[in-house]
Amino acid sequence: MKAQIKTDIPGPKSLELTSRRSKSVANGHGSVCGVYIDKAEGSNLIDVDGNVFIDFAGGIGTMNVGHSHPQILGAIKKQITQFIHPCFTVAPYELYIKLAKRLSDLVPITDSCKAAFFNSGAEAVENAVKISKSYTRRNGVLVFSHGFHGRTQMTMSMTYKEDPYKKGFGPFVKNIYRLDFPEKKLDLSNLKFDPNPIACLVIEPVAGEGGFIPVSKEAMVSIRKFCDKYSILMVADEVQTGFGRTGTLFAMEQFGVEADIFTLAKSIAGGLPLSAVIGKSVIMDAAHVGGIGGTYGGNPVACAAALAVLDVMEEENLPERSLFIGSIICKNINSIKDQCPWIGGVRGLGAMQGIVIINPNNGEADKERTSRIHRYALEKGLIMITAGTYGNIIRTLMPLNIGKDELNQSVKILSDALINA
């Protein structure tokens, strides 16, 4: 369905909900758009005022298979008629085992693998760190500038951006070390710490919140060599890059090296809360019984949805579809660059593309123009989100099965926003 705007944005019903929200919802939980959603299907969001939007945010990358996909809904409905939550820690069930086996076979690790399930990307990363510490008997964690790994105390400490994620929430976890993000190469020339106490290195193949910056293949090879040299576990944080977003099921398939552990979340279960840590069996078994887990981790409804997501990924060939979408985005943006000297470039992998907005007079990040572009697109019916350490990246996280008409219209709206905002 194409975008159709019937009211001012936000409309009167959304404005009324904003008023009610201010009286009941904590201020700290912000929202990017001031429109309130009533229904979602495919690549469309329909708000309470009847406005139809095309979704280029995808729930911050959780909707790779689209909203309300019939196969996902069918799996959910079937499961909730059987049981909802006996808790795997108390009374386990087959769905958890089936999903663990399927994902362990799919991750690009040659060795045999095992999996454990949690609820969010932050939980997955935190537990990957715990497992790494247990296996190595070390306590250091190595991360990179521009990285985002979550909002728990551990993962917030690992995250780079101060405002809004860390501001006022210290003191932070100790023994976390940081290198410059290896967009082109891994720079170890000014290493200011001893690598020997480090348990794991955590890297996003494409920095998500940090600005959709891909790691170069050369740098990823260097990271693997560095980890091998100092017996450091390499953790691929594929919370946002996983499940077809970059043109392969997992982004690490494109780098020619293997990680020891993967963290997965977001699009794993079609919008339901689920995350995973998957790694070499010998590493995953290092944590003692009861050392990892959680009340809702790997809940059966989300596991059923995740198995259906994997079916849809394969049947609809969504990773390949991602490459097509990415090529359309890049071609379109490059075609208007001469009209828009504030476009500093477009970067990413597959359908995970970031448009860099700069001040053409000095080349610096232009957060204000980025906000105007975002607002213009929203008023025309395209929901997007921004990113970047400096807030100057327009990012694309649309459902990978977005229709031809919706894709064409959204690209047109995006182009108009870039030219006119």
Give residue limits of the domains in the chain: 71-315, 317-394+403-421
Give me the pLDDT at residue 421, please. Answer: 83
- SS3 of the chain: the string is CCCECCCCCCCHHHHHHHHHHHHHCCCCCCCCCCCCEEEEEECEEEECCCCEEEECCHHHHCCCCCECCHHHHHHHHHHHCCCCCCCCCCCCCHHHHHHHHHHHHHCCCCCCEEEEEECCHHHHHHHHHHHHHHHHCCCEEEEECCCCCCCCHHHHHHCCCCCCCCCCCCCCCCCEEEECCCCCCCCCCCCCCCCCCEEEEEECCEECCCCCEECCHHHHHHHHHHHHHCCCEEEEECCCCCCCCCCCCCHHHHCCCCCCEEEECHHHHCCCCCEEEEEEHHHHCCCCCCCCCCCCCCCHHHHHHHHHHHHHHHHCCHHHHHHHHHHHHHHHHHHHHHHCCCEEEEEEECCEEEEEEECCCCCCECHHHHHHHHHHHHHHCEECEEECCCCCEEECCCCCCCCHHHHHHHHHHHHHHHHHC
Give me the pLDDT at residue 189, please. Answer: 83
Q: For the chain, what percent of residues have pLDDT higher than 70? A: 100
332 is written with which tokens? 């379109």
- Cβ–Cβ < 8 Å for 238, 266: no
Give me the pLDDT at residue 101, please. Answer: 98
pTM, whole model, 2 decimals? 0.96
If you average pLDDT over residues 262-280, what whole number do you get? 98
Give me the pLDDT at residue 354, please. Answer: 98
If you average pLDDT over residues 20-49, what whole number do you get? 97
Q: Above 90 in pLDDT, residue 400?
A: yes
If you average pLDDT over residues 113-125, what whole number do you get? 98
Q: What is the dihedral of CA 258, 263, 267, 271, to 10 degrees?
A: 170
- Chain mean position to CA 314: 20
- Chain mean position to CA 414: 21
Measured between alpha carbons, how far is 51 from 72 in angstroms, rounded to an integer? 25
- Cβ–Cβ < 8 Å for 278, 104: yes
- CA angle at 203 for the pair 200 and 208, rounded to the nearest 5°: 150
Mean pLDDT of the chain: 97
- In the numeric block, the tokens 């809940």 are attached to 299
Measured between alpha carbons, how far is 20 from 127 in angstroms, rounded to an integer? 37
If you average pLDDT over residues 200-226, what whole number do you get? 97
Tell how strand 233-237 and strand 198-203 pair up. Answer: parallel
Rounded to 10°, the helix 404-420/318-336 angle is 30
Q: Above 90 in pLDDT, residue 350?
A: yes
If you average pLDDT over residues 85-110, what whole number do you get? 98
Q: Above 90 in pLDDT, residue 190?
A: no
Q: Above 90 in pLDDT, residue 258?
A: yes
If you average pLDDT over residues 130-157, what whole number do you get? 97
Q: What is the CATH number of domain 71-315?
A: 3.40.640.10
- Cβ–Cβ < 8 Å for 219, 183: yes
If you average pLDDT over residues 77-92, what whole number do you get? 98
CATH topology of domain 317-394+403-421: Aspartate Aminotransferase, domain 1 (3.90.1150)
If you average pLDDT over residues 118-126, what whole number do you get? 98
User: What are the backbone dihedrals phi and psi of residue 296, each rounded to the nearest 5 degrees, phi first?
Assistant: -100, 0
